[in-house]
Amino acid sequence: MSDESDREIEDATVGTVADVLGDTTRPHSSGIPAPADLDGVESGTGYVVWHRKHLRLADHRALSRAVAEGDAVCPLFVFDPAFYSSDGLACDARIRFLHEAVASLNRLYAAAPKRSVLRTTTQSAAGLAEPTPAESGPSAGKTDAGRREASLGRADVSGLTVGFGDPVDILSRFVDRGWSVLTMATPTSRYGQRRDERVRAACGNAVTFVSGDGLVRDREWPRADWQSHVEDWLTASQHTPAWDDHDTAQLSIETGVTPAAVDEKFDITPVKTRVPSGTHRAATKRLREFVDQVPAYPTNISAPQDAREGTSGLSPYLNFGLLSVRQVYQHVLDNAPSCRGRSMFTDRLVWNMHYNQKLSDWPGWTERAVNPVFEGRNEDRHDPELVAAWKNGGTGFPMVDAAMRCLRRTGWLNFRMRAMCASFFTHILHQPWWIGADWYHHHLIDSDVGINYTQWQSQAGLIGKPSQRVYNPRKQVRDHDADGVWITRWVPELQPLPSQFLARPERTPLAIQQECGVTIGADYPSPVVDFETRRQAFWTRHERRRSDAARELRRPEIAKRASFSGGYEAAQAIADEYGRDGTEDGTQLSLGEIDDGGDEDTGGDRSVTGQGDADAADAEGPSTSDDTQSPMPTGVGASAGEPAPDDETAVPDDHAGDGSGTDHDGDDDASDAQTSIQRFE
């Protein structure tokens, strides 16, 4: 496997486990003792704690419950070969990060203060034994064996039972031996959703998906009073396993399966650079360091070169659950000084939950446009050459190209660059959103299905809100990399060009191109599309469907999918206000009519700032300028129950174009300003 595959990445549906592995599923039934047979276990109540995400011991509700209620606990991670097929959606660097996290989890379990560890051994898994030095020696260069051993360690400590195979088979084996299974409920889609359904069907009452991540699952309308539910959860005590209070034994079955062996078996060969280490130690260290940076957070968010060190970098740890959102939230509130940066940061932790709630409410986010009006958008315009130019960073728009190359090389981008490239892909290149979303999902180390796909649909304008943002990559150069330091790092062929030409290299006078030795169109591509024409075409098409899309939000089924933080009322408010039919003379509503305070530019570049949704928050939407202002979504109007950028004073009047008068966008600086947690009410 390699990070650098150019394949079109589609569904992670893959061959069956049997296809891939034969009968190597581990542990074998014969290696699984019944709880009642374990030494010193009295009543014989045993819980398997099945880790998928939530790879930690602290603030883990399923584990806490198992320790409190069980005589024996068997923590389990299953390497599922379905995720390793050549059609898999994860780059090798993310897979390696996961392997490191599982190795680290094993060490944590080995050190946990439980009463006793009961070890049993099952047959070693053919082809999955720990790689020997002899095996790894000659192929060290090819298989990265040295780095593998350094980052994954040897399996000389054992706390976690590590399985290999179809989780449904393995969990069924435990259930057949008298174990119950507890696992944290996690929003999933595609393969993960089908797998969880199969687990439920196979294990019946013996499996419990424990809701312990603050999301709301047990209501018809999960968004009713969502904000207060989330605040209560974030500030409540963490679920700490009380090993000391209970006489719980821990079972560890040695299966011969280790992260290092799986890494080797599938030839995981990361090529990305600057990837964080997937250990709990690294996660905690990063969190502690970030606390000191919190006051500077607001000034570090937007520019990509500042964000690399200036935002928390915690996203991969939150995604795989080495840290819980609540742990981070409480640590920052307890240890960082009260300041704007602190509230901006904690708001974003709520956004993490907001988006994951969306996937929990509707698993279809990965597959279909949330608003049926937009289903199939751009499918008929699919152009593989434009897609390839975008993926490879060869569009002729330097900020986009730098971002896309950076994504591929490092697996990370800050919010603004992610949003800008998604906007460019859908609004300017007119390509189907899901191709871009899958590409991000493959390359991002932190890719969280619950955030990535919902953000993509939001940025692509597929929800039906009365607001939409189109980023202008040229303006982003001027605003966030005027001296070109970041661009030329990733697009070195532009290095010799004076920085004033980086926004539009194609306008560099020929004499200067000659002097610099850079020919635009040869050394660096000319723009692959005409920006203004494409943007105008997008707006024209989008406006035509806007009222239809708003009307769809009246349908409870669609409102539920969209999962606005303001609930059904918010969706209804949009439908009421913007879902009108065309005006009496048959024309559609104009942007000016539906724009609730946005700045529309007659040159064709429009910012409609009545961003609904944390989806606007999402767009890091313009918002309040200080901590005291937090206009509430009213349930009506453009904000329609979602955080709304209705403080126009926060939007600086700096939309200077490039002289053409047509180069404005709605991507104002204030978009990184404070949006308080209360705005989700």
Ligand X SMILES: Cc1cc2nc3c(=O)[nH]c(=O)nc-3n(C[C@H](O)[C@H](O)[C@H](O)COP(=O)(O)OP(=O)(O)OC[C@H]3O[C@@H](n4cnc5c(N)ncnc54)[C@H](O)[C@@H]3O)c2cc1C
Q: Which residues are documented as binding site for FAD?
A: 311-315, 345, 446-448
CA–CA separation, 422 vs 407, rounded Å?
12
262 lies in the site for ligand X, by CB under 6 A = no
- One character per residue 607-626, x = contact with ligand X (rule: CB under 6 A): -----------x--------
448 lies in the site for ligand X, by CB under 6 A = yes
Choices 380-388, 399-407, 444-452, 462-470 (CB under 6 A): range interacting with ligand X: 444-452
90 lies in the site for ligand X, by CB under 6 A = no
440 lies in the site for ligand X, by CB under 6 A = yes
**Nearest distance from C-beta of residue 397 to ligand X, angstroms:** 17
> DSSP assignment, residue 33?
-
CA 327 from centre of chain: 18
Q: Phi, psi at residue 249, to the nearest 5°?
A: -90, 155
Helices (H) and strands (E) in the chain, counts: 29, 7
Q: Which of 96, 265, 348, 664 binds ligand X (CB under 6 A)?
A: 348
9 lies in the site for ligand X, by CB under 6 A = no
672 lies in the site for ligand X, by CB under 6 A = no
Query: What are the DSSP calls for 118-143, one per residue?
Result: EEEE-PPPTT-SPPPHHHHTTTHHHH
CA–CA separation, 303 vs 324, rounded Å?
27
359 lies in the site for ligand X, by CB under 6 A = no
Query: What are the DSSP calls for 608-659, one per residue?
Result: -----SHHHHHTT----SSTT--PPP-SSTTTTTS-----GGGS-S----SS
Helical pair 340-361 and 226-235, crossing angle rounded to 10 deg: 120
346 lies in the site for ligand X, by CB under 6 A = no
Q: Which of 352, 395, 467, 676 binds ligand X (CB under 6 A)?
A: 352
Six-digit token string for 101 = 């996290």
456 lies in the site for ligand X, by CB under 6 A = yes
Pick between residue 122 and residue 630 the one whose CB is nearest to ligand X: 630
Pick between residue 158 and residue 356 the one whose CB is nearest to ligand X: 356
Tell me the torsion sign for CA atoms 341, 345, 346, 351: positive
**Nearest distance from C-beta of residue 663 to ligand X, angstroms:** 22
Pick between residue 114 and residue 408 the one whose CB is nearest to ligand X: 408
Six-digit token string for 355 = 């988006």
- One character per residue 398-417, x = contact with ligand X (rule: CB under 6 A): ----------------xx--
For residue 516, how many other CB atoms are within 10 A of its CB? 16
**Nearest distance from C-beta of residue 167 to ligand X, angstroms:** 23
424 lies in the site for ligand X, by CB under 6 A = no
**Nearest distance from C-beta of residue 676 to ligand X, angstroms:** 15
The size of the interface with ligand X (CB under 6 A), counted in residues, is: 28
65 lies in the site for ligand X, by CB under 6 A = no
429 lies in the site for ligand X, by CB under 6 A = no
Q: Which residues, at least 6 apart from 568, have a Cβ–Cβ distance to it below 8 Å?
A: 221, 223, 556, 559, 560
302 lies in the site for ligand X, by CB under 6 A = no
CA–CA separation, 314 vs 322, rounded Å?
10
**Nearest distance from C-beta of residue 408 to ligand X, angstroms:** 15
304 lies in the site for ligand X, by CB under 6 A = no
**Nearest distance from C-beta of residue 445 to ligand X, angstroms:** 9
Pick between residue 319 and residue 588 the one whose CB is nearest to ligand X: 319
Six-digit token string for 48 = 């398997």
| Cβ(73)–Cβ(46) below 8 Å | yes
For residue 273, how many other CB atoms are within 10 A of its CB? 9
318 lies in the site for ligand X, by CB under 6 A = yes
The CA distances from residue 51 to 45, 248, 359, in Å, are 19, 18, 20
Q: Please report how many Cα atoms fall inside a 13 Å half-sphere around the Cα of residue 567, on the Cβ side.
A: 13
SS3 state at 78: strand
77 lies in the site for ligand X, by CB under 6 A = no
**Nearest distance from C-beta of residue 443 to ligand X, angstroms:** 10
Pick between residue 27 and residue 450 the one whose CB is nearest to ligand X: 450
Pick between residue 283 and residue 419 the one whose CB is nearest to ligand X: 419
455 lies in the site for ligand X, by CB under 6 A = yes
Pick between residue 24 and residue 302 the one whose CB is nearest to ligand X: 302
Which residues bind to ligand X, rule: CB under 6 A? 311-315, 318-319, 348-349, 351-352, 355, 414-415, 418-419, 422, 440, 444, 446-448, 451-452, 455-456, 459, 618
